[in-house]
A and B are shown apart, each in its own frame.
Chain A
Amino acid sequence: MCELFAMSAGHHYTAHQYLPPFADRARANISGWGLGFFRNGQVLIEKSCEGIFTEDMLHDSFRRLSRVIDSRIILSHIRCPKSGHQKESHAQPLTDHFLDHNWLFIMSGESQKLMDYQSPRPLMSEELLAARVFEFVRDEMESGLASRPRQSLYQVLALGCKKLITNYPGQYIFFLANETVLFAFLNNSQVLTYQDPKALGEALVVTTVTGGLTEHPDNWSAFSQQDHSRGQILIISGADLLYLGHL
């Protein structure tokens, strides 16, 4: 399975403490990596189809970028061999502009049926599950708000996710972020959140890596989901978990 990482902070922050351990613990995924963040409301993405580790060396660019990138929200994805793609354009994060925001998207999961989804506005023509999931979620959020403009963003996302797992059964974990808020959805496995106990108000780290990214797994809060027909959505902004919704 691919592995996901996100960090949300109240101000611009680097993830240099967490990104190398994330890469280390996800090193079995050798098919590429990506980093996405925001600068002045614009999305910036650096990605590669090279392995995150070669022998015992962390990819040079990833190591340097993790020291340098500072943003209120940073997303990272390390791709597993099962995804079957080797093109850099297929590495994640993916991005699109909708509902007045630039969005970053990363996902991990499996669904046979969703590959048939045909968006009225495809991100790319190639068969890439992450692109289909992103298109589906985006299309549902756009049409949801167009038909029910008085709804909140959470309501349209929750309805979209419910439709996703009902119409296209599968296993999904995705992170979707704009410059101020991060949504995390899962209907299988788990995501873990962490705040440094010495700096609770600084940043919140979210990952799919089992056991978390620090020496003390006990400091991580796990949000688990076993029943694939249901799901959870976390809303995070700044260093706070603001909301946990169950579908």
Chain B
Amino acid sequence: MCDLFALSASRNYTAAASLPLFAVRGRANVHGWGIGFFRNSMPVVEKSGEKVFTDGRLHGSFERLARVVDSPIIVAHIRYKSSGQVDECHAHPFVLDFWGQSWIFAHNGKAPAIEPYLSRQQPILEARSDSARTLEFLRDYFQEAEPRRPHAPFIQILREALARLLQEYPGEYNFLLTNGRVLWAFTNHRQFLLLKGSRKLEEALLLTTINEGLSPEDWKRITARPGSGGKILLIAGGDLLLLEDLVLSA
């Protein structure tokens, strides 16, 4: 199973302490890695189809990027493929534009039902995987909801998109979605662990899917409540702004 990581702060931050730990604890994922962040409101993604950890050593580029990348929001993904090939193109994060801005997306899950999805919009992501199709599905839903902007809150469109995604393409979804200012997270099958104000790592808000967290501190475990459609998180600056269940109509 892939693993996800995010750092969110109200100012530029590096994840020099937590990103290497994330890679070490997620080293069973051997099919690539990626780091995404924003610079001057533009998305930047560095990714690779190589192992993040080989022969007891972190991938050299990952290690250097972890020290250098500074941004209010940093997203990272370590891949264990459940769909698609092993190469740089299939590594996460992915980037698409919608709702008037660029979005970075990283996913962890298994949703074979969405693999045949054909997007009605351009561009189409090159990767042939459930994750790429999931991002295109979200992009398409938001594009079609564009006339409801700006009156409809973003979360209303997101709730609708997720409900339709789960109805039409049932599967296990767990993703991070950021425009560089706020970070949305959703899970319907795995936990997120959240920590704010670490004394051992960065003081920014940290989020990961790694089961034990990244430090021996009081990580808050967030899981979807049984019977709900999943859990939606909204993070901005160093704060968890919102935490709610996705309600699916019967």
Contacts and interface: CB of A to CB of B under 8 A. Distances in A.
A31 interface: no
Given A237-B182, A243-B234, A201 B101 contact: yes
B241 interface: yes
Given A10-B101, A204-B150, A178 B10 contact: yes
A181 B241 contact: yes
A161 to B, nearest CB: 15
B234 A180 contact: no
Interface in A222-243: 234-235, 237-243
Contact of B154 (A154, A195, A242): A242
Interface string A195-230: 100001100100000000000000001000000000
A111 interface: no
Contacts of B242: 152-154, 235, 242-243
A194 B153 CA distance: 13
Interface string B236-250: 111111110000000
A150 B241 CA distance: 11
Contacts of A41: 10-11
B150 A238 contact: no
A100 interface: yes
Nearest to A196: B150
B182 A239 contact: no
Contacts of B117: none
A226 B234 CA distance: 29
B150 A221 contact: yes
B155 A153 contact: no
Contact of B41 (A11, A193, A204): A11
Contacts of A242: 153-155, 182, 234, 241-242
Contacts of B155: 242-243
* Size bracket of the B interface: 20 to 34
Contacts of B234: 152, 235, 242-243
A200 B236 contact: no
A99 B196 CA distance: 12
Contacts of B56: none
B32 to A, nearest CB: 30
A221 B236 CA distance: 24
A80 B154 CA distance: 34
A53 B201 CA distance: 52
Contacts of B238: 100
B179 interface: yes
Interface string B98-109: 011100000000
B120 interface: no
Contact of A10 (B150, B154, B181, B220): B181
B133 to A, nearest CB: 25
A81 to B, nearest CB: 34
Contacts of A155: 243
Contact of A238 (B156, B181, B239, B243): B181
Interface string A161-198: 00000000000000000111100000000000111000
Contacts of B200: none
B57 interface: no
B121 to A, nearest CB: 17
A194 B182 CA distance: 20
A244 interface: yes
B245 to A, nearest CB: 12
A82 interface: no
Interface string A123-162: 0000000000000000000000000011111110000000
B236 A181 contact: yes
B149 interface: yes
A99 B10 CA distance: 13
Contact of B151 (A181, A221, A243): A221
Contacts of A244: 153, 156
A238 B182 contact: yes
A195 B237 contact: no
A87 interface: no
A240 to B, nearest CB: 5
26 contacts: A10-B179, A10-B180, A99-B239, A100-B197, A101-B10, A150-B220, A151-B243, A153-B240, A178-B10, A179-B10, A180-B72, A180-B181, A193-B151, A200-B100, A221-B150, A235-B153, A235-B234, A235-B242, A241-B150, A241-B152, A242-B182, A243-B154, A243-B155, A243-B234, A244-B153, A244-B156
Given A153-B241, A180-B72, 7 more contacts: A10-B41, A152-B241, A153-B240, A181-B241, A240-B154, A242-B155, A243-B154
